[in-house]
Amino acid sequence: MKFEALAIPDVKLLFPKKFSDERGFFSETYNQTTYADAGIFQSFVQDNQSVSCNAGVLRGLHYQCTPYAQDKLVRVAHGRILDVAVDIRAGSKTFGKWVSAEISATEWNQILIPCGFAHGFVTLEPDTEVHYKVSAPYTPEAERSIMWNDPDLGIPWPHEESDVTLSQKDMQAMSFADYCRNPDF
Ligand SMILES: Cc1cn([C@H]2C[C@H](O)[C@@H](COP(=O)(O)OP(=O)(O)O[C@H]3O[C@H](C)C(=O)[C@H](O)[C@H]3O)O2)c(=O)[nH]c1=O
């Protein structure tokens, strides 16, 4: 399995093989053995899928607090996203730092977001379909949101505030300063 570490090495980009022929293509989008070869030993317990009708749909920055934290293996079956992971591990030398990558059906790449990172993405094309595996079940009471455009994080999203579509939850997300007052990682 071809992979590369991003600037925060715990976040990895993966490049599964795609076997194309005159019918179309086949790809193993997850395989415990070959992903272990890339240093991904997490076991996943839940598959998620979100479809966003337009470009500019922004979901995040989300995480589940300990002990309900989730590793996430994210891929795009149709369309393209800018995916962002923010290190929220208290004491980490990259605390408050972020990494980003374009994940798309065209590139057929994936991103592993470990526990201890807040995760978000913005769609770059209409009808973008994101599939992701998580290593712990959904626990609503453990769900937290940090403001996507928090000035202390300074994530250079490609959209202005007026151009993004957010959920009510994400519109009311906490600031990063609020998170720092009571970090739950
Ligand atoms: C995450 C989740 C949600 N839901 C229900 C709860 C809501 O009624 C509905 C929509 O949930 P939400 O608005 O939180 O969905 P997203 O904004 O796409 O959130 C996700 O997007 C960001 C990028 C993430 O990294 C998280 O995995 C996840 O928070 O699905 C479930 O039933 N199970 C689940 O695992």
Partners of residue 74 on adjacent β-strands: 111, 132
- Whether the CB-CB separation of 64 and 113 falls below 8 Å is answered with no
Atom of ligand 1 nearest to the CA of 120: 23
pLDDT in tens, 34-72: 999 888 999 999 999 999 999 999 999 999 999 999 999
**Per CATH, the architecture of 2-181 is what?**
Sandwich (2.60)
3-state helix, strand, coil in the chain (%, to 5): 10, 40, 50
Model-level ipTM above the cut of 0.90: yes
Q: What is the pTM of this model?
A: 0.97
- Whether the CB-CB separation of 167 and 148 falls below 8 Å is answered with no
pLDDT in tens, 110-155: 999 999 999 999 999 999 999 999 999 999 999 999 999 999 999 9
Q: Which residues touch 43 (CB under 8 Å, ≥6 apart)?
A: 32, 135
Burial 84-121 (b: 16+ CB within 10 A, else e): bbbbbbeeeeeebebbbbbbbeeebbbbbbbbbbbbbb
Annotated catalytic, 30? Answer: no
- Whether the CB-CB separation of 146 and 88 falls below 8 Å is answered with yes
Res 79: pLDDT: 98
Catalytic residue, from 131, 132, 159, 179: name it: 132
State yes or no: pLDDT of 185 exceeds 90: no
Res 38: pLDDT: 87
- Domains of the chain: which residue ranges? 2-181
54 lines ligand 1 (CB under 6 A): no
pLDDT in tens, 72-121: 999 999 999 999 999 999 999 999 999 999 999 999 999 999 999 999 99
Q: Give 140 Cα–ligand 1 centroid separation in angstroms.
A: 9
The residue contributing the CA closest to ligand 1 atom 21 is 59
* Sole residue written with tokens 């526990």: 115
Res 24: pLDDT: 98
